[in-house]
Each structure stands twice: as structure tokens, then as C-alpha cells.
């Protein structure tokens, strides 16, 4: 990966985000696509990161949230970037337009994930790559102990609309098991190339610390030096905190893998190679 992007991910405080972003950006670098869509681009992390790759001809971001779109458009000067307001159920692009699509942490927010997938398939070229990331229903106990216990014992979870407390369920319609997301993709005309689990080990209450407290502090008090949307080079304190939060995963994931993981990353195509699950 480009040194600048590698350094950037080392300052990402959420280790799950850093791991899935690393997989996505490494695949962009390897495949060298010409036209990329970030479906549900939010505040524009991937849009900004993709501008570091000079081989990309067009970088598109689509989202429905006006507030996020305003942030994404801020400070973008690269003429290859086009950010639009669009519903993922009906994208304003012709068939077979993109040779690489990112749909990271998007499907779980949608009322109709199947409809969105069919639309992404429509705008994806025949041999194009779609990378999807979703939260794993079989997540680690330490990541979100309260929801883990509620789901295991009472088959329920904290209300998704209580954003600061909802943990992994914040603003989510569903979580996915590996089998569920694979079945959804296969049943809607995709061929799976690989499936990766990310982040097995973490500090207790990681989600609450990172998002219930951390994200709210960053947003409320403008602590831009800790924000993943700040692409400035000097983020030494952020790097130190990121090292702390990633320590359990870095030290234990390769030695003591568990059946649970924070997230699932799937590489898929309309027509692909044989199934290769990692």
C-alpha cells in the first residue's frame, strides 16, 4: 500500500475500521480500477483516500444524507471526484459503468438490502469487483458486552435509535452472519471470491468507548486531530491511541482466532472465480 495511506491507517483509532479499510485500499492498489463508486460514501473517507491513487480516472461518491455530503465535498479539489446525492435503490448511472464498487458498512442500514444489491450489480461491469463490509452478528463479547448478553439470553438488543448507547446496533436494521451475507449475494447473482473475518480480540466495551464516547467528543468539541476525516500528517496523539485500541487484535488475532469477529469483508463479482473462503 502507498506509504501515505499506510501512515494514515496507523492513526485510525477504530481497529475494525482500519482493518477493513486496509483490505479495501490494498485491493484498489492491486486491481487498479478506472472508475470507482463509493456507495454510501458518508463523510468521504474513501473518497479522500482514493485520490492518492493516480491511476483512477473517475471517483464517485453517492449518499442520501445532506449533512454528510456537505462534509464529503469540503476540501475536495481533485477534478476526478464527483459526489452526488442519490438513493442506492436507484443510481443515476448507466449499466456496467463501474469496474470497482465499495459498499462498506452500508447494507445493514438499509430497509431493503436486496434491492440495493441488485442496483449495485446493474452499474457494475461484467468483471468488476464489489467489496462489501458488514457487521458480524457473531461479534466478540468484549466489543459490545451488553448487546452480546441481551442477544444471547433474551434474543433482543438495545434500541437502534439510542445512538450513543446502542453499540453495534446503532442505526442498524440488522447484523449478518457469514452464511446470511453469502446467501444474500449468491441468490442475487453474485459470485464470491473471498470472505474475511476481521478483528477477533479487543478491549472490553470497545464500541462504547470508540463511538458512544469518542465519536461524540470529536463531533461535539471539534477534536479534528482525532478524526478519520482529517488527512493532515501530524496526528501523533491519534496514532498513540490507535496503537492502544489495536493492541489486542494485533497481538492475539493471528494466534488465537475465535469463531466470532467484529466484521465481515466480502469480495464479489457478477462472474467470478471459485469460492475461496479465508
Calculate the average pLDDT of the chain: 93
Q: What is the pLDDT of residues 7-17, one digit of tens each?
A: 889 999 999 99
Q: Is the pLDDT of residue 148 over 90?
A: yes
The mean pLDDT value for 79-92 works out to 97
Higher pLDDT: 222 or 72? It is 72
Domain boundaries 3-277, corresponding CATH code:
3.40.50.150
Percent above pLDDT 90 for the chain: 83
Task: With a cut of 50, say whether residue 156 has pLDDT above it.
Answer: yes
Average pLDDT over residues 256-273: 87
With a cut of 90, say whether residue 114 has pLDDT above it. yes
pLDDT(96) > 50:
yes
Give me the pLDDT at residue 273, please: 41
On whether the pTM is more than 0.85, the answer is yes
Per domain, the residue ranges of the chain are 3-277
Predicted pLDDT at 233: 66
pLDDT of residue 271: 67
Choose the weakest-confidence range: 9-18, 74-83, 223-232: 223-232
Q: What is the mean pLDDT of residues 249-272?
A: 91
Mean pLDDT, residues 190-200: 96
Question: Count of CB atoms within 10 A of residue 79's CB?
Answer: 7
pLDDT surpassing 80 at residue 267? yes
- Provide the percentage of residues in the chain whose pLDDT is more than 70: 96
Please give the pLDDT value at position 275. Answer: 42
Residue 46 pLDDT level (bands cut at 50, 70, 90): very high
pLDDT at 145: 98
Q: What is the pLDDT of residue 278?
A: 40
SS in 3 state form for the chain? Answer: CCHHHHHHHCCCCCHHHHHHHHHHHHHHHHHCCCEEEEECCCCCHHHHHHCCCCCCCEEEEEECCHHHHHHHHCCCCCCCEEEEECECCECCCCCCCEEEEEEECCHHHCCCHHHHHHHHHHHEEEEEEEEEEEEECCCCCCCCHHHHHHHHHHCCCCCCCCCCCCHHHCCCCCCECHHHHHHHHHHCCCEEEEEEEECCCCCCCHHHHHHHHHHHHHHHHCCHHHCCCCCCCCCHHHHHHHHHHHHHHHHHCCCCCCCCCCEEEEEEECCCCCCEEC
Amino acid at each position: 500500500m502507498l506509504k501515505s495511506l499506510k501512515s494514515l491507517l496507523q492513526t485510525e483509532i477504530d481497529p475494525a475500521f482500519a482493518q477493513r479499510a486496509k483490505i479495501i485500499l490494498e485491493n484498489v492498489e492491486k486491481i487498479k480500477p478506472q472508475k470507482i463508486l463509493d456507495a454510501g460514501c458518508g463523510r468521504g473517507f474513501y473518497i479522500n483516500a482514493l485520490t492518492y491513487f493516480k491511476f483512477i480516472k473517475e471517483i464517485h461518491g453517492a449518499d442520501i444524507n445532506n449533512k454528510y455530503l456537505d462534509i464529503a465535498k469540503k476540501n475536495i479539489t481533485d477534478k476526478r471526484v464527483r459526489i452526488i446525492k442519490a438513493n442506492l435503490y436507484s443510481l443515476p448511472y448507466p449499466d456496467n459503468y463501474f469496474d470497482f464498487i465499495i459498499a462498506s458498512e452500508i447494507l445493514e442500514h438499509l430497509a431493503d438490502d436486496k434491492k440495493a444489491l441488485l442496483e449495485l450489480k446493474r452499474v457494475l461491469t461484467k468483471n468488476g469487483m464489489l467489496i462489501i463490509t458488514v457487521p458480524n452478528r457473531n461479534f466478540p463479547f468484549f466489543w459490545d458486552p451488553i448487546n452480546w448478553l441481551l442477544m444471547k439470553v433474551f434474543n433482543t438488543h438495545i434500541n437502534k435509535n439510542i445512538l450513543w448507547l446502542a453499540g453495534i446496533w446503532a442505526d442498524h436494521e440488522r447484523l449478518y452472519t457469514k452464511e446470511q451475507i453469502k446467501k444474500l449475494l449468491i441468490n442475487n447473482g453474485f459470485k464470491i471470491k473471498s470472505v474475511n473475518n476481521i478483528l477477533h480480540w479487543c478491549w472490553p466495551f470497545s464500541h462504547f468507548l470508540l463511538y458512544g464516547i469518542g465519536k461524540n467528543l470529536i463531533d461535539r468539541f471539534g477534536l479534528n486531530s482525532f478524526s478519520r476525516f482529517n488527512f493532515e500528517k501530524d496526528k501523533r496523539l491519534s496514532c498513540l491511541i490507535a496503537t492502544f485500541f489495536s493492541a489486542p487484535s494485533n497481538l492475539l488475532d493471528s494466534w488465537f482466532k475465535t469463531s466470532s469477529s467484529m466484521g465481515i469483508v466480502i469480495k464479489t463479482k457478477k462472474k467470478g472465480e471459485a469460492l475461496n473462503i479465508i
